Amino acid sequence: MTFSPTRTSRCIGEAIARGTSYENIRIQDLTYEVEETPIEVPAETLLVVAVPVYGGKVAPPALKRMSGLKVAGAPAVLVALYGNRAYEQALVELESFVTGKGAQVVAAGAFVGEHSYSVEAYPVAAGRPDAQDIQMAETFGRNIRLKLDKEPVGTVNAADLPDRAMATEEMLRFRTDVQAALKGGAVVPQTPKVDEDLCDHCGTCVEQCPTQAIVAGEETATIADRCIRCCACVKVCPQQARTFDTPFSALLNKHFGEQKENKILL
């Protein structure tokens, strides 16, 4: 089960599912489900939930799309896909959500994916998840299967996989630079910018927007109160007509340009 505007969370979730070698894998992609979807997960099912981290928390639309979830005590694997900065309390938040729906958490992981604000000039985990990330996710899936094949199957506590990056001096320096930039007049755009000369109204951005913030025939505009700044439209535009110029890109590259490793709890 996934909410994945840029397909990174889904990529890792699918790799974990493949690694388990279970048959009858069902992909419940809620990225484009506008209304609440009733989803019942029986006890004999392994539930893999893969969602992105926005600002240190689970992307709000993900929780909203999963609000109709009902789990009959099934084991669950939690995946937080973050942009190389920090996942903070996202896994703990996701754990609280799925256990409240009746799941038993047996494994969890924080995987790195290309940051939404990553651009060519200021890359932040560009190209991730890469082949090594996928391989690690598949191995994770195999080890989950081995765990589930044994009795009894123990649960895990997401809080046991702390994001130590939050306590580093680099994080403090990043926050200081962000505050200085905002005080200095830096402006964070509410929506991507569109070059009307480049846009050919192909409709790709309309299809890929998870919140219907772009209307067919009006591709040069974005509805601000619907835009979640996931930048899916920016990354898929074949004409590169869409850009999201935020001062955060340079700061993220400056402080978190070094590639981080994935973390798992099993």
Residue pLDDT, tens place only, 230-245: 999 999 999 999 999 9
Separation CA 200–CA 73 (nearest Å): 49
165 confidence band (pLDDT: 50, 70, 90): confident
Does residue 167 surpass a pLDDT of 90? no
Q: Which pTM does this prediction carry? A: 0.95
pLDDT of 142 > 90? The answer is: yes
C-alpha atoms less than 13 angstroms from C-alpha of 8 in its C-beta half-sphere: 26
The answer to whether residues 97 and 58 touch, using CB atoms and an 8 Å cutoff, is yes
Are the C-beta atoms of 81 and 67 separated by less than 8 Å? Answer: no
Check residue 186 and give its pLDDT.
92
- pLDDT (average), residues 58-71: 96
**What pLDDT score does 143 carry?**
98
Query: What element of type H or E holds 171?
Result: helix 169-183
What average pLDDT does the segment 199-207 reach? 97
Please determine, for residue 166, whether its predicted confidence score (pLDDT) is greater than 90.
no
Residue 37 has a pLDDT of: 78
Q: Is the pLDDT of residue 35 over 80?
A: no
Q: Which residues contact 236 (CB under 8 A, 6 or more apart)?
A: 204, 205, 208
pLDDT at residue 36 greater than cutoff 80: no
Show the tokens assigned to 91: 């896994």
What does the mean pLDDT of the chain come to?
Answer: 96
pLDDT of residue 156: 97
Domains, the chain? 8-163+259-265 (3.40.50)
Average pLDDT over residues 99-122: 97
- Spatial CB neighbours of 182, under 8 Å, sequence gap ≥ 6: none
Burial of residue 216 (number of CB atoms within 10 Å: 0-12, 13-18, 19+): exposed
